[in-house]
Structure 1
Amino acid sequence: MNPTVSFLVASLMTASVHAAPALTPPDAEKHPHMVTTPFGATRNDDYYWLRDDKREAPAMLAYLNAENAYTDQVMAPLKPLQDTLYKEIVGRIKQDDASVPARERGYWYYTRFETGKDYPIQARRKGSMEAPEEILLDINQMAAGKGYFSVDDAEVSQDNHLLAWAEDGVGRRQYVIRFKDLRTGEVLPDRIENVSANVVWADDNRTLFYVENDPETLLTVRVKKHVLGTPVSSDVLVYEEKDDSFYMGVGRTRDDRFITIDLHSTVSSESRYAPAANPQAFTVLAPRARDVEYDADHFDGRWVIRTNDAGAKNFKIVTAPTDATARSQWKDWVAHDDSVLVEGFELFDGFTAIAERSNALERVRLLFADGRQDYVKADEPAYSMGLAANPEADTPWLRYAYTSLTTPATTFELNTVTGERRQLKQQPVIGYDPSQYTTERVWVTARDGARVPVSLVYRNGFRKDGSAALYQYAYGSYGMSMDPGFNQTVVSLLDRGVVYAIAHIRGGEEMGRAWYDDGKLLNKQNTFNDFVDVTRELVRQGYAAKDRVAASGGSAGGLLMGAVANQAPQDYRVMVAQVPFVDVVTTMLDPTIPLTTNEYDEWGNPEQREYYDYMLRYSPYDNVTRQAYPSLFVGTGLWDSQVQYWEPAKWVARLRDDNTGTAPIVFRTNMEAGHGGKSGRFQRYRELAESYAFVLEQLGVDTTP
């Protein structure tokens, strides 16, 4: 079969279409395709043909380009507003900004930007910030001429002489590891392809451990070690993971004594360790067991482990001897608390900093060697707080990050002995005055009685009289908490009278591990119900007009948008679904697609009838029906490896078939990007300005700030 798109698609591909007065959306042809389960259930998928793993089928590309051309047409009258929004957003950015320097092994490391340039420069100075600058990577030069480019993990060898980094020139998160001699500035010829963005040096300063990806599923499958200057073909296999439900990474412990291989599935963990001075054989710290998760660090002659073992649903912290090989050797240190989720920790010579979550808010607890404890303080009703970069343990100073919906990201350091606090940096936001905005936290009772926290922000002068426009955002999956941090792009909405809300719905971990469990697998419908119930209550309380509500989510949050669009279209005027995971059942039935087999404990395995039936009831693509849908702005990247482009493409094609309403649906495909959109600090704001312009116009918002 060589599927083609209809004449409407073909006509949109001609040059004259841009001048045509009629706005006719593309109409993809239907080609029946049966999707079958192992137990015999079948579903017809008329748009399955839009999938092309190589991203080169002419008919598929014609359809995506036709949708882009149609979006161009629809958005053309909004181009002045889009340009205004882009200029506003970029105008708030201090273009020659730099990160807070962090000291490690005698060097101060930092990242800085230069005015007008999209990409950062990674640099360091020896001894003090007054020393001459050494540029590690100028990513502007590296990205020159490329449609997409990113550098993720970058690690300096223990002797400070060599740099290894992982770069991606496509956006598919299939990385290449490169090397540089920092003494000479020479980029070395060694080149390791098809790997994850995760590297660690051994103590010999010649051996690098890395994680190799499966070329098809992109799963992390093998740990290998490369000796600098030798052929990659001779790299030694260190560990191979046979269970494709596990992710894998490599690291070093806090005391630099061990190199670790860390394996995590949705419900299980396992760590292996080897001496960094002679990493020949890796020892299992504790064998994996279903429903037992742990992550470990080594410091002060012992292992310190965060775990949910022995019924510690919200996690506790235990210790173990250096030669530990079983959970029976673990000893409780920080007890489990039903009302406090332990999210992480950092170990220092004189204290331990514990990242926690209580009553839907983050906090940092300080635990001292003599048993005393204290908490880092916050001053706002809704905020986000967490550990910052603390690469060295021999200091009384703790660095932590603080932000809220009105307070730009701020880095503090706190002297845990004297109590002195110093502000090291606050994100500069040109022209922004936090005193002009108000943030608050409200609670909404969902239909089953659960109390859902909601973070709100609006410009002073807002009146809760039921006339305002509302922009509501949520995610609600993987236990990822969407904390109320400052987002300078949202200021453009607030200044036009829009109320911005983050709904902390089930599926995240804002209220502890049970909050996550109540929003996954056979409880997934709670995620969608919570979102809708928050909207209805905010409207009831007068935060917004019923016909002026926008909803937004991306990736798994795009699944949320798709499900809500099917289940409660009347509650929303417009929705934004970026890289949306909307073809749940078909994707999860295909183990060759990235993020399938290792996601069974998040969504369910549709090869089992119970999960198949449940997922089929909410899968956005499968539940499109003849009804009036809200306006929709759908975005994707052709090279997305997390949510394949064909999911939103198929969804939009089906929406065009069944939508009985007249509200516009636009579909933008970035032909040079992956899951995170375009690279570069300015390019992504052009994409955001486009969706903002669409939303503001649909909400009837005065476009003058």
Structure 2
Amino acid sequence: MKYLLAFVSVILLLVGIYFIGNKVPQKQNNTASTNINMAKGPTPPIAKKEPHEISIHGDTRIDNYYWMRDDSRTDPEIIAHLTAENDYKEAMLAGTKELQQELYDEIVGRIEKDKSTVPYQLDNYYYYTRFEPAQEYPVYARKKDGLDNNEQILLNVNELAKGHDYFNVAATEVSPDHSLLAYSHDSVGRRIYTIRIKDIASEKLLEDTLKNTSGNLVWANDNKTIFYIKKDPQTLLGYQVYRHTLGTPQATDVLVYEETDSSFYTSLSKSLDGTLIKIGHYSTETKGQSLLDANQPNGKFEHFYPLQEGHEYTVSKSGQSYYILTNKDAKNFRLMKADESSRLNFNQWEEVIPHREDTQLTGVIAFKDFIAVTERQNGLIKIRVMGINNSSSRFVEFNDPAYSAGFGTNKNFSSKTLRYEYSSLTTPNSIYDFNMETGRNELLKQDKVLGEFNPADYNSERLFITARDNTKVPVSLVYKKQKFSRDGTNPLYQYGYGSYGATMDPRFRSNWLSLLDRGFVVAIAHVRGSQMLGRQWYEDGKMFHKINTFTDFIDVTDSLVDKKYAARDKVFIAGGSAGGLLMGAVINMAPEKYRGVAAHVPFVDVVTTMLDESIPLTTNEFDEWGNPKNEDSYEYMLSYSPYDNVKKQDYPNLLVTTGLHDSQVQYFEPMKWVAKLREYKTDNNMLLMHTNMEAGHGGASGRFERLKQTAMEYAFFLDILNSEK
């Protein structure tokens, strides 16, 4: 990467004429508002136009910025333009530098610098992760025979990251006999991982090096066999499962499964009891698993139950019984039970928890003597615990109006204790142990928020607003009591996502305190496309119902303003990835409602991307967005695609972020979108783009470094808020 940047610096001199009329000054008058009149400030980089025709279904679209795609990410002209955008952004935000630093110091100042996880016991070892005060990356460690004994460091990621601008460890897995550590790492940000194996006692790396993997790995019980997933280098789809024997070259690894349907993702896991290795097969609407005896690594994986379109199931094992979470004849899922002799005959499965219209089953863990299930009713989570030999249930229930809860780290199959995590908009993340025999609940640890934070100073609410089609949309919000008045004067920070059935539960985010303490109301709009209100809530926000996601978000804005939670001219919104698509769609549809927008790694060029099956993740998502090779899908997707619907109108102040090496949403989507917005927009509001030249979809890899972008976003909004309208 350093070589590339050196090369680019030379090339920039050669292509400098391209930007001769758009040179960006390094400083700006700090006394003037940065967003009032761009004519008095730096000139934004204007991209050249090269018409590119895309024709299908008798319709031809002209994409003037298609040239911005470079899969190698080395084109000098493209790198120069991204650099010019970064320079322009720096110049336009020069007056916020002190504010950015203030916000960054605040956010970092709340973080527990030597934070550690709660240790979990596996055999006679206690495993945990901790941070050293000034370090960006975690240290993986363990203690033997008790927490008072000496620490043994397994992996210090800070040492591995030296010399890298980006570094991420995706997985760490200790062999069943606790002697070896396998871990996967990525030093680019494309989520293509290399697996290495470390001898823990000698602290030496084995020669085994497994490249081009998904990062997912599982040990067989012989302590010498590893299963991993290899990626397609073009689509980045993990589709081949290999078996590797320690001490042999990767070239001799055995292919044990290959996914030939490019609409499916592939995963690897191991059953809690350690007896099964599981390959997961999942597309948007179909899910299943293939199983292998972990004691017979040379055996053959077999489907637990045949894959059927529209049927989603996952399997947990306890003793001789399989517990299956399935949506067969159960839209919101039900829990079934089978054994080896009955697993292939659905009619012989025994129902454990029946389907309910008002409750969705979302997860299950099978222990030796107990089963734990997460359920979502009316958008709120409960945890149910049942005895294997006793159908009576205990529930872990919660009192906050809006919260997040779910399973924590549970590694001990024989445990009578369930570890779970809990958080709310006013309660920092908390780790509990729940005794499944007695019902006793024990708080093990709650994240520390350094400084003057007091949960009692903040108030959380849960609302249901009425959307334009009379659907009730849930909203979670939080504000600081001393700073809030129900008189329509507060600024609003509204966050949304609404895709893939992913539910953005209202959990504590210490970053938001910097907004709350400055008088913002922070709201999460649980729009259709998530599963907040069950599976149907997802179905009503995808494919030919996708526009519901966008109109729900706009209707939430209108309702919060009408209910006097926020001022009409002080609404700021943010979303990332598919949430960035949400941002792009709503500002095309209702730009006048928003003062400022942050669109992070936004998926905005929906139709062109979904037409190109060489782009990562495209074929896997036809059941989410539609396949534009079908005319009806093409027309519907084209009706909301943010890039295709940019028009001559005023747009809000907009901050767009991306990563050059993004593997999920390619950098050229936001790059093209910004260029087209510059061409069409009729206002003098800010349009800024920030490209992290060393990172991918998740941004910077360090725990502190990534917060600089958060501080930049908040400073962007606060600068707009404090300026003239």
Same fold? TM cut 0.5 = yes
The Cα of 1:700 is off from its aligned counterpart by 2.5
**Is 1:452–2:473 an aligned residue pair?**
yes
Counterparts of 1:584 and 1:6 in 2: how far apart (Å)? 32
Secondary structure, aligned partner of 1:190: strand
Which residue among 673, 682, 691 is the counterpart of 1:669? 691
**Is 1:44–2:54 an aligned residue pair?**
no
Give 1:305's aligned residue. Answer: 324
Residues 116-515 of structure 1 mapped to structure 2, 5 A cutoff: 116-279=134-297, 280-309=299-328, 311-323=329-341, 324-368=343-387, 369-431=389-451, 432-461=453-482, 462-515=484-537
Counterparts of 2:488 and 2:263 in 1: how far apart (Å)? 47
Identity across the alignment (%): 48
The Cα of 1:126 is off from its aligned counterpart by 1.1
Residues 91-130 of structure 1 mapped to structure 2, 5 A cutoff: 91-130=109-148
Counterparts of 1:520 and 1:263 in 2: how far apart (Å)? 21
Counterparts of 1:269 and 1:412 in 2: how far apart (Å)? 31
Counterparts of 2:314 and 2:630 in 1: how far apart (Å)? 31
Range 484-493 or range 253-262, more displaced:
253-262
Residues 553-568 of structure 1 mapped to structure 2, 5 A cutoff: 553-568=575-590
Secondary structure, aligned partner of 2:617: coil
Runs of 4+ in structure 1 off by over 4 angstroms are: 4-8, 10-14, 16-21
Structure 2 length as normaliser, TM-score?
Answer: 0.94
CA spacing shift, 1:101–1:608, aligned 2, 3 Å: same
Secondary structure, aligned partner of 2:82: helix
CA spacing shift, 1:84–1:17, aligned 2, 3 Å: closer
Listed one character per residue, the Cα deviations across residues 136-190 of structure 1 (whole Å, up to 9, x for unaligned) are 1100000012110000111111111111111000111011111101121111111
Number of residue-to-residue matches in the alignment: 698
Counterparts of 1:19 and 1:99 in 2: how far apart (Å)? 45
Paired amino acid for 1:92: R
Aligned residues of 1:154 and 1:166 also touching (Cα < 8 A):
yes
The Cα of 1:13 is off from its aligned counterpart by 6.1
**Is 1:523–2:548 an aligned residue pair?**
no
The Cα of 1:281 is off from its aligned counterpart by 1.0
Counterparts of 2:649 and 2:19 in 1: how far apart (Å)? 24
Range 113-122 or range 321-330, more displaced:
321-330
Counterparts of 2:243 and 2:18 in 1: how far apart (Å)? 53
Counterparts of 1:420 and 1:282 in 2: how far apart (Å)? 40
Give 2:651's aligned residue. Answer: 629
Secondary structure, aligned partner of 2:300: coil
CA spacing shift, 1:80–1:335, aligned 2, 3 Å: same
The Cα of 1:701 is off from its aligned counterpart by 8.4
The Cα of 1:419 is off from its aligned counterpart by 2.7
Aligned residues of 1:6 and 1:27 also touching (Cα < 8 A):
no
Secondary structure, aligned partner of 2:71: coil
Secondary structure, aligned partner of 1:177: strand
Listed one character per residue, the Cα deviations across residues 116-146 of structure 1 (whole Å, up to 9, x for unaligned) are 1100000111121112111111000000121
Give 1:78's aligned residue. Answer: 96
**Is 1:9–2:19 an aligned residue pair?**
yes
CA spacing shift, 1:5–1:289, aligned 2, 3 Å: farther
Structure 1 length as normaliser, TM-score?
Answer: 0.97
The Cα of 1:41 is off from its aligned counterpart by 3.0
CA spacing shift, 1:246–1:139, aligned 2, 3 Å: same
Counterparts of 1:609 and 1:634 in 2: how far apart (Å)? 31
Which residue among 680, 683, 701 is the counterpart of 1:679? 701
Secondary structure, aligned partner of 2:324: strand
**Is 1:698–2:716 an aligned residue pair?**
no
Paired amino acid for 1:9: F
Listed one character per residue, the Cα deviations across residues 559-586 of structure 1 (whole Å, up to 9, x for unaligned) are 0000001000011000100000000000
CA spacing shift, 1:473–1:518, aligned 2, 3 Å: same
Aligned residues of 1:156 and 1:163 also touching (Cα < 8 A):
yes
Which residue among 28, 49, 54 is the counterpart of 2:47? 28
Paired amino acid for 1:215: P
CA spacing shift, 1:613–1:5, aligned 2, 3 Å: farther
The Cα of 1:391 is off from its aligned counterpart by 0.9
Listed one character per residue, the Cα deviations across residues 421-467 of structure 1 (whole Å, up to 9, x for unaligned) are 21100001002111111001111000001100100100012111011
The Cα of 1:420 is off from its aligned counterpart by 2.2
CA RMSD of aligned residues (A): 1.7
Counterparts of 2:346 and 2:705 in 1: how far apart (Å)? 48
Secondary structure, aligned partner of 1:189: strand
Aligned residues of 2:272 and 2:367 also touching (Cα < 8 A):
no
Aligned residues of 2:175 and 2:219 also touching (Cα < 8 A):
yes
Range 380-389 or range 490-499, more displaced:
380-389
Paired amino acid for 1:515: W
Aligned residues of 1:287 and 1:326 also touching (Cα < 8 A):
no
Listed one character per residue, the Cα deviations across residues 183-221 of structure 1 (whole Å, up to 9, x for unaligned) are 211111111111101100111111100001101001111
Range 330-339 or range 285-294, more displaced:
330-339
Counterparts of 1:380 and 1:671 in 2: how far apart (Å)? 41
Secondary structure, aligned partner of 1:122: strand
Aligned residues of 2:367 and 2:415 also touching (Cα < 8 A):
yes
Counterparts of 1:328 and 1:41 in 2: how far apart (Å)? 49
Counterparts of 1:192 and 1:11 in 2: how far apart (Å)? 49
Aligned residues of 2:394 and 2:439 also touching (Cα < 8 A):
no
Gaps of 5+ in 2: 1-10, 30-39
